[in-house]
Every structure is written in C-alpha cells, then in structure tokens.
C-alpha cells in the first residue's frame, strides 16, 4: 500500500519528461506551426471571399437582359452602371446579413431558398423531348384524359324549399302534371332561381359545380330527351328538367391532342426526376427525431 504514491510519482515524472522531450522536437514545432498557419489562412481566405465581389460580364449581361424584359429596351451605359452599382450594394448587404446570421430562423428566407433549390433540381434534371413512340404509349395509358367530355343542353324549373321541403316537392309534382296535360305554360310555373334557367353545352363537371352531385345532376346525364321530368332534388331545392340535347363523350385521336399529351408527358417526367433527385439528396442526410 505504501508503494502506490511512489508509483504515481514515478509515472508523473515520466510524463513530464516525455512532454519536455517533445517540446524540444523540431518536427513537432513544424507541424504545429503549419497547422496554425493553415487555420489562420482558412479564416483569412473565408473572410476575403466574403468581402471580395467580382462583377462578371455574365452578371452585367443578366442585369441588362432583366432590364430589357421589364422596359422593352436594353439599358444605355449610365443606366447599366447604376444597375451594377445597385446590384453590388445588394450583394454587400446580402453577404453581411449572412455573416451576421440574419438568415437563421427566418421562415420567408427559408421558403425562398427551398424554392430556389427546387428550381435548381428542375434545371439540372430537365426531361428530354419524348419520341413519337413514347408519346403514343403515354397517350394510350391515359386515353381517358383526352376524350371530349359529355355535353348537355337542358332547361329546368325550380321550386324553393322556403315553405318546407315537402311543399316544394309537391308543387314540383303538380307543375309536372300541368305541363304534361298542356294546362300551363312553362313561364307560369316555378320560383325565381339565382342563376339561369337554360344551360347550353355544359360538361358534367360544370353541372356538378352548380347543382352538386345530386339526383338532379344525374338526371341531366341520363334522362330521355325532349320531355319534362321530375321532381329531382338538388342542393337548392326541387326541380323539373327537360334535356334538349346530350353529346356523349368522344374519343380523340392523338394527332388532335398531341400538344396536351406532350405537356402532360413532360410534367410527369419532371415530377419523376424531381422525386429521384430528392431521394438521392435525402440519402446524404441523417434525420433523428427527438422523443419526448
């Protein structure tokens, strides 16, 4: 037990001797000096880069082009000089703001950077023009998108629920009887409607937007032509309807909708390449979620 302090003292003296020996080693001095110079150089280089602004010819051309798009003519020399001066001022303020950390915790700045990164990904992975075979294959796979929709021309009579739902339905049924027997004119029946009474060439989706996905809308798509029918309920109340014409959905050839197919093909291709680029980027990150 008494030997333990002696052993510790011996180790301490050995460590001190080793440190003194290393301190006299020229190679260690050289390594430490080199490391210090490297760190100092990196700090100076970083600071110099932040405060070193180069106005390139490409940047001047970009400023001139942006001015021309806005005002319809290229800037003269004094105007371009002012544009460059203002651009340099903005760049100085921007860099100083970054140095001060003003971009941190700023939702607007964050959204803008995210938006620019999305644009950058799109620029780097823009899809190529499709071949005729690729367009045709895409068209065949999505043919339902390129059909001419069903169109309906119809008239209706409206019966308000102001006095109750049952009353509105009964008045509609009575009006249908009068019309069927020829004892009344259309203009003498029904209540005022907030929109029109006659609809020409409407697509099914337009009918749904106006009257909801109701039995009245379904009747316009399936009822026999040229006769008053009902009553049918909508989001407004009760109606009688007369369908004057109905053009069923028609298949459209590729040559007719080629531009639409090309646009949709490129949009879908862009979406796929964007997703792949994001997946590749995500592979470079580790996401850890803290648990409460």
Q: What is the rounded average pLDDT of the residues 249-260? A: 86
pLDDT above 90 coverage of the chain, percent = 37
Q: What is the pLDDT of residue 47?
A: 47
What pLDDT score was predicted for residue 102? Answer: 80
Q: Lowest mean pLDDT: which of 37-46, 145-154, 155-164, 252-261?
A: 37-46
Least confident of 54-58, 76-80, 236-240, 285-289: 285-289
What pTM was computed for the model? 0.47
Long-range contacts of 126-129 (CB under 8 A, 24+ apart): 126/270, 126/273, 127/266, 127/269, 127/270, 127/273
Q: What percent of the chain has pLDDT over 70?
A: 81
pLDDT of residue 276: 85
When pLDDT is cut at 50, 70 and 90, the band that residue 143 belongs to is confident
The per-residue pLDDT for range 206-247, each reduced to its tens digit, is 999 999 999 999 999 999 999 999 999 999 999 999 999 998
DSSP state of 126: P
8 compared with 247, residue with greater pLDDT: 247
In this prediction, residue 174 carries a pLDDT of 94
pLDDT(71) > 60:
yes
**3-class secondary structure, 235:** coil
Sheet holding 237-247, edge to edge: 198-203, 151-160, 237-247, 228-233
Instruction: Note the pLDDT of residue 33.
Output: 53
Structural contact between residues 239 and 158, judged by C-beta atoms closer than 8 angstroms: yes
> Does the pLDDT at position 23 exceed 80?
no
Distance CA 106, CA 288 (A): 22
Among all chains, which residue has been given the structure tokens 């990196």?
42
Taking CA atoms, 290 is separated from 136, 187, 281, 287, in Å, by 49, 70, 22, 10
pLDDT, residue 42, reads 47
Residue 25: pLDDT above 90? no
146-202 tens-digit pLDDT: 888 889 999 999 999 998 999 999 999 999 999 988 888 888 899 999 888 999 999
Q: pLDDT category, 21, cuts 50, 70, 90?
A: low
Confidence tier at 43 by pLDDT (50, 70, 90): very low
Closest CA to 241 of 221, 255, 220, 262: 220
Question: Average per-residue pLDDT in the chain?
Answer: 82
Q: Which pLDDT value is given to residue 89?
A: 84
Say what the pLDDT of residue 34 is. Answer: 58
Q: Residue 255 — very low, low, confident or very high, per pLDDT cuts 50/70/90?
A: confident
Residue 219's closest CA among 152, 161, 142? 152
Residue-wise pLDDT for 263-292, tens only, equals: 999 999 988 888 888 888 788 878 776 776
Q: Note the pLDDT of residue 3.
A: 52
Give the mean model confidence (pLDDT) for residues 58-78. Answer: 90
């Amino acid at each position: 037990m008494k030997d333990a302090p002696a052993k510790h003292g011996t180790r301490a003296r050995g460590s001190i001797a080793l440190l003194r020996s290393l301190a006299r080693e020229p190679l260690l001095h050289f390594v430490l000096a080199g490391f210090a110079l490297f760190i100092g150089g990196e700090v100076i280089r970083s600071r110099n880069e932040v405060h070193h602004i180069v106005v390139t010819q490409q940047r001047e051309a970009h400023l001139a082009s942006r001015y021309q798009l806005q005002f319809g003519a290229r800037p003269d020399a004094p105007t371009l000089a002012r544009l460059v001066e203002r651009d340099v001022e903005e760049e100085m303020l921007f860099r100083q703001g970054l140095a001060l950390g003003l971009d941190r915790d700023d939702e607007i700045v964050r959204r803008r950077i995210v938006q620019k990164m999305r644009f950058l990904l799109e620029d780097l992975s823009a899809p190529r023009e499709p071949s005729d075979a690729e367009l045709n294959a895409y068209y065949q796979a999505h043919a339902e998108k390129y059909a001419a929709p069903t169109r309906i021309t119809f008239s209706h009579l409206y019966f308000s629920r102001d006095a109750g739902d049952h009353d509105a339905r009964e008045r509609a049924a009575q009006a249908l009887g009068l019309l069927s027997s020829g004892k009344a004119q259309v203009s003498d029946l029904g209540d005022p409607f907030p929109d029109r009474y006659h609809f020409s060439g409407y697509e099914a989706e337009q009918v749904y937007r106006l009257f909801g996905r109701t039995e009245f809308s379904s009747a316009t798509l399936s009822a026999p032509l040229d006769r008053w029918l009902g009553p049918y309920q909508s989001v407004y109340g009760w109606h009688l309807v007369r369908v004057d014409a109905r053009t069923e959905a028609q298949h459209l050839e590729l040559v007719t909708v080629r531009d639409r197919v090309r646009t949709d093909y490129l949009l879908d291709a862009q979406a796929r390449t964007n997703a792949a680029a994001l997946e590749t980027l995500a592979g470079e990150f580790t996401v850890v979620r803290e648990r409460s």
